[in-house]
């Protein structure tokens, strides 16, 4: 497999407009800092600017909810569909049997077919908030429909000869795993993803693949397979990974991933996550993730001090509205204002019901309560937070790890606070 020539977008050009002084969708993607690498910039511009791209993005069903890591891909699909292009949402019901080694230091856990199908169903429901499905609109396909039917010998003969093991091992997704061990199962992932593009090109007229920048090698495998087997050109573009100013992937909290499912991450928690991003990251996030006009965002570049808090609230509201709807975004904003203003409206605050069996002698200790509310990753972390003065109950600092709360207190509701910004209510009925 040869490596095709590609263009790497290193920085935003001085102008975002074409010769007619009209901003194209490609100009906008560049202006928002979304494009990382492309195989053929001129051809990709021509396709997406004129609504001629039938493109796909793949989502492996590794959980029963999409998370913030998927957010940029969903927004990209929405932007391109609004510009007249046709999205193909590829659910990895087949590749989910293997597991993508990209960004992993160890092998993913094997999932049962039932779990994979359940996760696929959950993904589709969430995606419908972003993507318009229907005739002549977006379509959703599952690569289990063709990958699980493949004959191994036939695949080796048809596709295997098109891949160089030497080139595959130079790919970043494999190279970083070589020292710790790369299973043959995972080694096949690039071939499976490449076959997806090959199949979609033939059966759905799909001429482009988009994905995160960590998928570049896999995407090149697909374009090259199409060229070698069909003698035709297909194109790939990667989008910038969502990283904070410290170079870490965004979308993680002490409780784990920030999910799009409101049952896993409540609208209030989702709002608070974005409300609490660092000053250094807020404007970048607004530019990359929201649908606010670039002219409005450009004007924010000069904001400093307290204006950055206003920017954080804009970011939190816009993203919560996208994921959960305007009503839930309004509720989350009102709850946030009430809490930080010292108000008493905690109706939209994340909460945990404490059951009678969790009490000992009619009370529950602060360590157990924090564990039940998932306010700390471990008991030792909870102890450290308390001894450092970072835990509050009803606005009173918790001064000892021996503090207990009675059933009567819980029936009135206890408002816990970790640090300055993480709130949670514990209650009994």
pLDDT beyond 60 at 16:
no
Q: What is the pLDDT of residue 113?
A: 80
d(CA 329, CA 251): 18
Domains contained in the chain, CATH given:
7-239 (3.40.50.620), 252-340 (1.10.240.10), 351-427 (3.10.290.10)
- Alpha-carbon torsion (139, 142, 143, 149), positive or negative: negative
Kindly indicate the confidence band of residue 9, based on its pLDDT and cuts at 50, 70 and 90: very low
Q: What is the pTM of this model?
A: 0.76
pLDDT beyond 90 at 297:
yes
Residue-by-residue DSSP string for 104-136: -SSPPPP--HHHHHHHHHHHHHHHTTTS-BSTT
Q: What is the pLDDT of residue 13?
A: 40
Show the CA angle centred on residue 212, arms to residues 211 and 213, nearest 5°. 120
**Do the strands 363-365 and 404-406 form a parallel or antiparallel pair, or are they unpaired?**
antiparallel
Q: What is the pLDDT of residue 101?
A: 47
pLDDT beyond 60 at 232:
yes
Q: Exposed, middle or buried by CB within 10 Å (0-12, 13-18, 19+), for 7?
A: middle
Kindly indicate the confidence band of residue 114, based on its pLDDT and cuts at 50, 70 and 90: confident
d(CA 150, CA 69): 30
Of residues 325, 345, 324, 327, the one with CA closest to residue 336: 345
Q: Exposed, middle or buried by CB within 10 Å (0-12, 13-18, 19+), for 307?
A: exposed
Could you report how far apart the first and last alpha carbons of the chain are, in Å? Answer: 64
pLDDT beyond 90 at 230:
yes
Residue 375 or residue 234, greater confidence: 234
- As given in the structure block, the two tokens for residue 277 are 């991003």
Q: What is the pLDDT of residue 2?
A: 41
Q: What is the pLDDT of residue 428?
A: 86
Residue-by-residue DSSP string for 263-331: TTS-HHHHHHHHHT--HHHHHHHHHHH--S-HHHHHHHTT--THHHHHHHHHHHHHHHHHHH-HHHHHH
H-helix segments, 60-112: 68-82
pLDDT beyond 90 at 179:
no
Range in 58-72, 127-141, 167-181, 201-215 the model is least confident about:
167-181
Q: How many helices (H) and strands (E) does the chain have?
A: 19, 16
Q: What is the pLDDT of residue 104?
A: 43
What average pLDDT does range 100-112 have in this prediction?
53
Indicate the Cα dihedral angle 215, 27, 40, 130, nearest 10°: 40
Give the whole-number percent of the chain exceeding pLDDT 70: 87
pLDDT digits (tens, 9 = 90+) for 321-350: 999 999 999 999 988 887 765 555 666 677
Residue 381 or residue 395, greater confidence: 381
Q: What is the pLDDT of residue 11?
A: 35
Q: What is the pLDDT of residue 174?
A: 67
d(CA 42, CA 40): 6
d(CA 286, CA 214): 22
Range in 65-79, 171-185, 200-214 the model is least confident about:
171-185
Q: What is the pLDDT of residue 15?
A: 38
Q: What is the pLDDT of residue 21?
A: 61
Q: What is the pLDDT of residue 106?
A: 43
H-helix segments, 83-232: 113-127, 144-147, 152-158, 165-170, 172-175, 184-187, 189-204, 216-230
Q: Which residues contact 12 (CB under 8 A, 6 or more apart)?
A: 30, 31, 33
Question: What is the crossing angle of helices 68-82 and 306-324, to 10°?
Answer: 80
- Indicate the average pLDDT of the chain: 84
pLDDT beyond 80 at 18:
no
pLDDT digits (tens, 9 = 90+) for 240-251: 988 887 888 888
- As given in the structure block, the two tokens for residue 200 are 């979609």
Distance of CA 339 to the CA centre of its chain: 28
């Amino acid at each position: 497999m040869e490596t095709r020539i590609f263009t790497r977008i290193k920085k935003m050009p001085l102008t975002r407009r074409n010769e007619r002084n009209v901003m194209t969708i490609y100009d906008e993607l560049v202006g928002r800092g979304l494009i990382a690498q492309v195989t053929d910039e001129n051809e990709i511009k021509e396709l997406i600017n004129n609504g001629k791209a039938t493109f796909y993005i793949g989502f492996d069903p590794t959980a029963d909810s999409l998370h913030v890591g998927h957010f940029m891909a969903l927004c990209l699909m929405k932007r391109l569909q609004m510009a007249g292009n046709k999205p193909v949402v590829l659910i990895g019901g087949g590749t989910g049997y293997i597991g993508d080694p990209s960004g992993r230091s160890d092998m993913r856990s094997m999932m049962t077919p039932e779990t994979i199908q359940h996760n696929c169903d959950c993904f589709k429901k969430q995606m419908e908030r972003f993507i318009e499905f229907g005739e002549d609109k977006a379509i959703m396909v599952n690569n289990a429909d063709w990958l699980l039917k493949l004959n191994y010998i036939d695949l080796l003969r048809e596709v295997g000869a098109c891949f160089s093991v030497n080139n595959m091992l130079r790919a970043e997704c494999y190279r970083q795993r070589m020292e710790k061990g790369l299973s043959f199962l995972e080694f096949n992932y690039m071939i499976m993803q490449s076959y997806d593009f090959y199949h979609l090109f033939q059966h759905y007229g799909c001429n482009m693949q988009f994905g995160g920048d960590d998928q570049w090698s896999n995407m090149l495998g697909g374009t090259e397979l199409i060229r070698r087997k069909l003698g035709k050109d297909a194109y790939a573009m990667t989008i910038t990974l969502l990283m904070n100013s410290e170079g870490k992937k965004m979308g993680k909290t002490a409780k784990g991933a920030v999910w799009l499912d409101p049952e896993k991450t409540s609208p209030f928690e989702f709002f608070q996550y974005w409300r609490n991003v660092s000053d250094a990251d807020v404007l970048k996030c607004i530019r990359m993730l929201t649908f606010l006009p670039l002219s409005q965002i450009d004007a924010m570049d000069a904001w400093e001090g307290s204006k950055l808090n206003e920017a954080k609230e804009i970011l939190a509201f816009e993203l919560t509205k996208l994921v959960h709807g305007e009503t839930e975004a309004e509720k989350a904003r009102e709850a946030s204002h009430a809490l930080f203003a010292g108000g008493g409206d905690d109706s939209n605050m994340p909460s945990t019901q404490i059951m009678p069996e969790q009490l000992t002698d009619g009370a529950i200790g602060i360590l157990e309560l924090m564990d039940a509310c998932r306010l700390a990753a471990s008991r030792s972390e909870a102890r450290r937070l308390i001894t450092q003065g970072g835990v509050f109950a009803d606005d009173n600092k918790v001064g000892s790890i021996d503090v207990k709360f009675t059933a009567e207190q819980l029936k009135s509701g206890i408002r816990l606070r970790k640090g300055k910004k993480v709130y949670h209510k514990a209650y009994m009925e």
